[in-house]
């Protein structure tokens, strides 16, 4: 206050002329200081302003799309859902709606609107906050691409400077195209193309006037004006956009009224199929390490796969329908068993507690299903479980389960390689094995149950002496039977007989040559499928037999391109010759009998040439069926994730056949009916099924059997029928 008083007293002593000079002097000093301060502030504000030269190279975060074999979108990988289109692919109605609503002087200004800025400044002062944007489309674009979403004077200045630079370097058409591809429409969607798919389920080029107006109305606040959450607000915004378009002369009154009558969308359209989640994750796990997270999720790649949604979708529906039914049957069976146990012993004791503990803890059966192109190995369908959101564990590729009797074709191929034929007689008789500390050995002479009991009696209770007495599911012994009959009826003892004579090492080698990847224990029980495998490798191995002995490695990706359409990778089938076409055909011909007369007979309702094999693992923990044609090979598996037994007495592997057949009935509708081609070097002769010898007219059980030329039987049947 003293300084001010002293300054005023000083002025009182000056003449008028001196007072004017002093005033001018002071104003000059303050003006210079203000200019200097403003310059310093502007320099600070503009020091980190980005160069618009980068706009030429600007690549926004783009969506990577995954397609099926028919170019239908299966899924997408994205941080921001966005697709880039040229301006000529965007409807004129959409362009006009945005200009009318957001910047009607777009084609007349040079980046900023001084009148709009002044009007906004006055409103900001009145509201005592920075609220009114008054941004041109160019300013909005500069903010979207280059600046942080903050409300400060400094950012506003940067926005205007960038807008001026953008206008100087780019045409109006280029700016409008960038804006329409960049603007946010809510729900993680950017750009008009992705917005059209989300809100209307169509390509942007197919949008109507009303749809263009609706999208434009979302721009200021997509959540506030969302037609899904606030349909009345969305309708009002659409009306406002149409009114502005009519005022600007873009549409007529009649066109506006027609657009007003269009319905408002009430639910989001899926931007992908919503199916094949396990397959999509299988693809992601392959490609993400190869191309990197940023490229996969932001690079706008196109991934063309082998999957066929026309097979995948009915497969998902049929598997869930059948397993849900089995869940109920299992629950009823468990309840009945519990009631029966309680009736037998009303006093719950330790024994009952042990029974309860042994009951399966699972309440939901799981399943897996996969279809391969027999000739190429292309994955046509893949279901890794019943619900990807609940469990992302892919039981097609990641499971390790016992194959049960589905492993037997590898034993039978080993037998064919060792000189056996479909008419060879093998034993389905009692046998026992003992372990000498190094290996399992056949207990010689133990060829009936009495002899087995007698032989093992001295060792009962000896922990160092292990005995294994295999048996069949029906507890019966069929004696001497043909190789074919043993496979059709899935005889365990016959399989172990073969393993004993050809060697478990050969069986393991055959399985690996066919396509099994897991390590296999070369022990006698290998013939019962006790080793762990997964459905994909089993389907792949079976397809080797169906493909004339040529193994085609399974694959899911056909081609990958970048966002410019350049091919990054392209797949071709990986083929190796595993077995001769002749032996492969002989084995497949026997496996056709599994469908025609054996354990897989339920699949015969499909009325086409099929070969396959059923399987149930120890204690009914796994149920399988794998079936094949010359074109497709499909594997089904069911079981509990915690390895509990499936708790229904009458259930068998035929259940897996049932829903496999349900799925394939739909799949085969569009597939040609073809039989397995007969290679050169194969002859057909009629044999007696009881003796394996050439059939006579008096033989009751005859069959036309396939043989590698020179191995067919030469003797006629001598049995008394």
Q: Any idea which residues carry the catalytic annotation?
A: 102, 405
Q: From the centroid of its chain, how far is CA 247?
A: 50
Could you count the other beta carbons within 10 Å of the beta carbon of residue 717? 20
Q: Give the integer Cα–Cα distance in Å for 456 and 473.
A: 22
**DSSP string computed for 392-422:** ---TTTT--EE-GGGGHHHHHHHHHHTT--T
Secondary structure element (H or E) that encloses residue 16, with its range? helix 16-46
The dihedral built from the CA positions of residue 186, 190, 196 and 197, taken in this order, carries a sign that is negative
**DSSP string computed for 666-698:** HHGGGS---PPPPPTTEEEEEEETTTSSBP-TT
The counts of H helices and E strands in the chain are: 23, 23
Q: Which of 466, 447, 470 lies closest to 456 in space, CA to CA?
A: 466
CA atoms within 13 A of residue 185's CA, in its CB half-sphere: 30
3 state DSSP class of 66: strand
SS3 content of the chain, % helix, strand, coil (to 5): 45, 15, 40
User: With contact defined as beta carbons under 8 Å apart, do 585 and 548 qualify?
Assistant: yes
Q: Give the integer Cα–Cα distance in Å for 145 and 182.
A: 8
The dihedral built from the CA positions of residue 82, 88, 93 and 98, taken in this order, carries a sign that is positive
Looking at the DSSP bridge assignments, the partners of residue 636 are: 369, 625
Could you count the other beta carbons within 10 Å of the beta carbon of residue 328? 9
| Residue corresponding to tokens 């906050």 | 129
Q: Give the integer Cα–Cα distance in Å for 291 and 306.
A: 20
Indicate the DSSP class of residue 374: T
The dihedral built from the CA positions of residue 689, 693, 694 and 700, taken in this order, carries a sign that is negative
Distances (CA, A) of 414 to 409, 506, 579, 582: 8, 6, 11, 14
3 state DSSP class of 327: helix
Encoding tokens for residue 91?
A: 């409807």
Q: Give the integer Cα–Cα distance in Å for 721 and 144.
A: 90
Rg (CA), the chain: 39
User: With contact defined as beta carbons under 8 Å apart, do 293 and 282 qualify?
Assistant: no
Q: What is the 3-state secondary structure (H, E, C) of 200-246?
A: HCCCHHHCCHHHHHHHHHHCCCCCCCCCCCCHHHHHHHHHHHHHHHH
| Residue corresponding to tokens 């400044």 | 121
Indicate the DSSP class of residue 545: H
Q: Give the integer Cα–Cα distance in Å for 35 and 29.
A: 10
Instruction: Give the strands of the sheet with 557-561, arranged side by side.
Output: 73-77, 64-67, 302-305, 557-561, 567-570
- CB crowding 134-159: b at 16 or more within 10 Å, else e: bbbbbbbbbbbbbbeeeeeeebbebb
Looking at the DSSP bridge assignments, the partners of residue 65 are: 76, 302
State phi, psi for 181 to the nearest 5 degrees: -90, -15
Q: Give the integer Cα–Cα distance in Å for 217 and 69.
A: 37
Q: What is the largest CA-CA distance in the chain?
A: 151
Secondary structure element (H or E) that encloses residue 707, with its range? strand 702-708
């Amino acid at each position: 206050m003293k300084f001010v008083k002293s300054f005023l007293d000083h002025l009182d002593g000056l003449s008028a002329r001196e007072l004017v000079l002093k005033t001018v002097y002071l104003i000059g000093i303050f003006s210079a200081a203000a200019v200097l301060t403003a310059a310093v502030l502007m320099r600070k504000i503009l020091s980190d302003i980005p160069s618009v030269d980068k706009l030429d190279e600007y690549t926004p975060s783009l969506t990577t799309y995954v397609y099926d074999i028919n170019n239908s979108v299966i899924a997408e990988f994205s941080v921001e859902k966005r697709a880039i289109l040229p301006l000529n692919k965007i409807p004129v109605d959409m362009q006009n709606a945005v200009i009318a609503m957001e910047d009607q002087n777009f084609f007349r200004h040079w980046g900023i609107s001084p009148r709009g800025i002044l009007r906004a400044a006055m409103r900001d002062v009145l509201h005592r906050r920075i609220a009114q944007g008054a941004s041109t489309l160019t300013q909005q674009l500069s903010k979207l691409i280059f600046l942080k979403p903050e409300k400060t004077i400094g950012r506003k200045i940067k926005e205007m400077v960038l807008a001026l630079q953008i206008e100087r370097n780019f045409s109006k058409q280029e700016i409008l195209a960038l804006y329409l591809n960049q603007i946010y429409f809510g729900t993680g969607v950017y750009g008009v193309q992705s917005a059209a798919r989300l809100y209307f389920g169509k390509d942007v080029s197919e949008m109507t006037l009303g749809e263009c107006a609706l999208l434009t109305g979302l721009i200021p606040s997509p959540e506030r004006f969302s037609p899904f959450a606030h349909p009345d607000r969305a309708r009002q915004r659409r009306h406002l956009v149409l009114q502005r378009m009519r005022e600007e002369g873009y549409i007529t009154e009649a066109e506006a009224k027609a657009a007003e009558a269009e319905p408002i969308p009430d639910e989001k359209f899926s931007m992908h199929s919503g199916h094949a989640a396990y397959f999509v994750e299988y693809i992601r796990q392959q490609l993400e390490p190869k191309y990197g997270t940023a490229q996969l999720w932001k690079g706008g790649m196109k991934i063309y796969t082998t999957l066929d949604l026309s097979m995948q979708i009915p497969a998902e529906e049929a598997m869930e329908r059948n397993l849900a039914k089995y869940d109920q049957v299992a629950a009823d069976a468990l309840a009945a068993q519990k009631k029966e146990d309680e009736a037998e012993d009303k006093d719950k004791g330790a024994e009952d507690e042990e029974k309860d503990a042994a009951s399966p803890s699972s309440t939901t059966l799981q399943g897996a299903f996969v279809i391969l192109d027999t000739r190429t190995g292309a994955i046509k369908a893949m279901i890794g479980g019943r619900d990807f959101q609940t469990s992302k564990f892919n039981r097609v590729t990641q499971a390790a389960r016992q194959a049960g009797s589905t492993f037997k074709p590898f034993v039978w191929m080993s037998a064919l390689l060792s000189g056996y034929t479909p008419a060879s007689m093998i034993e389905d008789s009692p046998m026992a094995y003992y372990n000498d500390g190094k290996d399992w050995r056949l207990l010689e002479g133990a060829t009936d149950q009495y002899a087995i009991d007698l032989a093992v009696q001295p060792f009962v209770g000896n922990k160092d002496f292990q005995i294994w007495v295999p048996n069949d599911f029906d507890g019966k012994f069929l004696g001497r039977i043909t190789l074919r009959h043993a496979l059709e009826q899935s005889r365990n003892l016959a399989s172990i007989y073969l393993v004993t004579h050809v060697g478990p090492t050969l069986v393991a080698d055959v399985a690996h040559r066919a396509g099994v990847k897991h390590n296999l224990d070369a022990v006698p029980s290998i013939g019962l499928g006790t080793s762990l495998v997964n459905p994909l490798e089993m389907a792949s191995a079976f397809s080797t037999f169906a493909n004339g002995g040529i193994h085609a490695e399974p694959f899911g990706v056909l081609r990958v391109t970048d966002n410019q359409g350049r091919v990054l990778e392209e797949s071709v089938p990986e083929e190796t010759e595993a077995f001769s076409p002749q032996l492969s055909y002989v084995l497949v011909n026997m496996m056709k009998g599994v469908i025609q007369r054996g354990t897989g007979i339920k699949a015969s309702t499909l009325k086409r040439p099929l070969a396959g094999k059923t399987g149930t693992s120890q204690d009914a923990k796994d149920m399988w069926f794998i079936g094949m044609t010359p074109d497709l090979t499909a594997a089904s598996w069911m079981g509990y994730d915690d390895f509990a037994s499936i708790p229904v007495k009458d259930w068998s592997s035929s259940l897996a056949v049932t829903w496999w057949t349900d799925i394939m009935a739909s799949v085969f509708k569009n597939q040609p009916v073809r039989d397995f081609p007969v290679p050169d070097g194969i002859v057909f002769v009629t044999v007696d099924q009881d003796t394996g010898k050439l059939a006579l007219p008096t033989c009751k059980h005859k069959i036309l059997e396939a043989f590698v030329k020179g191995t067919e039987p030469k003797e006629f049947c001598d049995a008394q029928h």
